[in-house]
Amino acid sequence: MVSRAWCRPLCAGAPRCLPGWGSAAFSSRSPSSSTSDEILKEKRAQIMSRGLPKQKPIEGVKQVLAFASGKGGVGKSTTAENLMRPLKNYGIACMSMGFLIEESAPVVWRGLMVMSAVEKLLRQVDWGQLDYLVIDMPPGTGDVHLSVSQNIPVTGAVIVSTPQDIALLDARKGAEMFRKVHVPSREGTPGLGIKFADHFWKRCRARTRVLGLVQNMSVFQCPKCKHETHIFGANGVRDLAKTLGLDVLGDVPLHLHIRETCDAGQPIVVSQPQSDMAKAYLRIANEIVKRLPPTPA
């Protein structure tokens, strides 16, 4: 049986931007001034790159998937759990900062403490041999996201959102964040002509590690009359996916049983595996696996 695990870090502040690609062609300044600027940009890029951590794989883990959303409360954690059987009773490893503190205690930590905690969750937990490690990222685009992306090779990211406009704005930021930390930006590289820089940027974006979007709470069906209502709007995630050039991995309905089973510690894919809700999660899992590279031997 394929082994998987779930890791949930905590929230933090805002990320830093990484140096990247750009163009110095068609400058109106003198050749000597342009050359000096190019040298300064190159030195700055070298200095900044020295301060970045080197990515190190997690021993025993073949592929890492990050489940993210710009906005909290859109069902990201529920989606991450229903790609696996997360309870110890089912033989699945799960680690969260919530296990290490009092239930009502807030986590008020600065960036360095957050990054240290992420490192411990990733490397000082006995994950064993895993085909996939699913990381339930905190909302936003903060230190945790940057630390995870810079310290381990993340195979792919999945963006979860509900269809309403406010959630879609944050979901877009989440998708662009992963593109920026994995793909060079257009700014700051000397010596490239505009046409070449544009062509290179398009090729980089085509190789983005964002696997696609999940539209959660897409529709509510009345249990009595079976009438369907799009409480949060219809097809908002699909429209965003078209704008970003990404795939929609699937839709999950808004259903009472999903909330009840997750609160009870028995996700819908375990407690009601033949239900339409469970099948929706399983279809999403299949779509994700189809977009991943072959699992390393």
Confidence at residue 255, expressed as pLDDT on a 0 to 100 scale: 93
Which tokens belong to 207? Answer: 């190789």
DSSP 22-40: ----S--S-HHHHHHHHHH
Please state, in angstroms and rounded to a whole number, the distance separating the CA atoms of residues 172 and 82: 23
Confidence at residue 56, expressed as pLDDT on a 0 to 100 scale: 76
Please state, in angstroms and rounded to a whole number, the distance separating the CA atoms of residues 80 and 74: 12
Confidence at residue 111, expressed as pLDDT on a 0 to 100 scale: 72
Please state, in angstroms and rounded to a whole number, the distance separating the CA atoms of residues 94 and 135: 10
How many other C-beta atoms are found inside a 10 Å radius of the C-beta of residue 185?
Answer: 16
* Cα separation of the two ends of the chain: 15
Encode the chain (297 residues) as per-residue pLDDT tens digits: 455 565 666 544 444 433 433 333 434 445 566 677 777 777 776 666 565 566 777 777 888 877 777 667 676 666 665 573 334 556 677 888 777 677 777 777 777 777 777 877 887 777 778 888 888 888 877 778 877 877 788 888 899 999 999 899 989 988 888 877 653 433 434 444 445 445 544 444 434 478 999 999 999 988 889 899 999 988 899 999 999 999 999 999 999 999 999 888 888 999 999 999 999 999 999 999 999 888 766
Tokens 């704005």 belong to residue: 169
Which tokens belong to 206? Answer: 């085509």
Q: Phi and psi of 252, rounded to 5°?
A: -120, 125
Please state, in angstroms and rounded to a whole number, the distance separating the CA atoms of residues 226 and 228: 6
Confidence at residue 91, expressed as pLDDT on a 0 to 100 scale: 65
Q: Is the pTM value of this prediction over 0.75? A: no
Reported in sequence order, the residue ranges of the chain that DSSP labels E, i.e. its strands, are 4-8, 61-68, 93-96, 130-136, 156-161, 210-221, 228-229, 248-254
Please state, in angstroms and rounded to a whole number, the distance separating the CA atoms of residues 277 and 251: 10
Tokens 């990733």 belong to residue: 122
SS3 161: strand
Which tokens belong to 224? Answer: 């009595």
